[in-house]
């Protein structure tokens, strides 16, 4: 922002860190936190409504911002310049601050469940143990994860097998997001 004349490199790095924290640290937890607000199985129907509305809101907001941000940048003039990046990025930033204020204001109304266990740790330990045992053992098993059945529960092993089958579907996601982010960057700079 020209009137403030802030150090660009430092604020760019700070902005990228905040985006990384929001995307990687907060965003995945919001849907799980929302799901914790329902009493199951009594409110299972409302839980479905919540997730439908939640993901509709996220995607609608993304769609609106994809169209609105370039318009704010190119068609509005501020600080004596033709492009108004301050407004284009300031409006979403201000809306995020307002959303955080609303979120914190309702804190006393939330059901807060403490996390139990470490799923990532259990899955990693099971996979690591199975790999080590599979390499040492001459015994043939139906699946290489079955070598961990002497230490880990069969339900965890089956869940990990299912996880590995699903992870194959996520292989093209980094390519998709790289192309998507390039498209957004292009729209902002045109």
Q: What pLDDT, on the 0 to 100 scale, is given for residue 121?
A: 94
Residue 152, pLDDT above cutoff 90: yes
- In angstroms, rounded to a whole number, what is the distance separating the alpha carbons of residues 143 and 130? 10
Dump pLDDT digits (tens) for 17-56: 887 887 777 777 888 899 999 999 999 999 999 999 999 9
Q: pLDDT at residue 116 above 70?
A: yes
* 38 vs 187, residue with greater confidence: 38
What mean pLDDT do residues 137-158 have?
91
Say which residues have a Cβ less than 8 Å from residue 22's Cβ, sequence separation at least 6: 96
Q: Which long-range contacts (CB under 8 A, 24 or more apart) does 177-184 make?
A: 184/66
Asked whether the whole model's pTM tops 0.75, one would answer no
Min mean pLDDT across 72-81, 110-119, 120-129 is at 72-81
Q: Is pLDDT larger for residue 188 or for residue 38? A: 38
Q: Could you give the percent of the chain with pLDDT greater than 90?
A: 45
pLDDT at 46 (0 to 100): 96
Burial class (CB in 10 A: 0-12, 13-18, 19+), 112: exposed
* In contact, 50 and 38? CB cutoff 8 Å: yes
């Amino acid at each position: 922002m020209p009137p403030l004349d802030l150090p660009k490199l430092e604020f760019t790095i700070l902005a990228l860190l905040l985006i990384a924290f929001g995307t990687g640290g907060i965003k995945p937890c919001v849907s799980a936190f929302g799901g914790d607000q329902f009493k199951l199985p009594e409110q299972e129907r409302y839980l479905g409504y919540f997730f439908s509305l939640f993901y509709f809101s996220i995607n609608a907001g993304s769609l609106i911002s994809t169209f609105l941000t370039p318009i704010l940048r190119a068609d509005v003039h501020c600080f004596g310049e033709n492009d108004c990046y301050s407004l284009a990025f300031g409006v979403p930033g201000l809306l995020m601050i307002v959303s955080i204020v609303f979120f914190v204001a309702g804190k006393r109304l939330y059901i807060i469940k403490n996390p139990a266990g470490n799923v990532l740790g259990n899955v990693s330990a099971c996979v690591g143990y199975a790999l080590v045992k599979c390499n040492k053992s001459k015994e043939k098993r139906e699946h290489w994860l079955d070598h961990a059945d002497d230490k880990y529960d069969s339900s965890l092993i089956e869940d990990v097998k299912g996880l590995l089958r699903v992870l194959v579907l996520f292989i093209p996601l980094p390519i998709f997001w790289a192309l998507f982010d390039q498209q957004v960057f292009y729209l902002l700079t045109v």
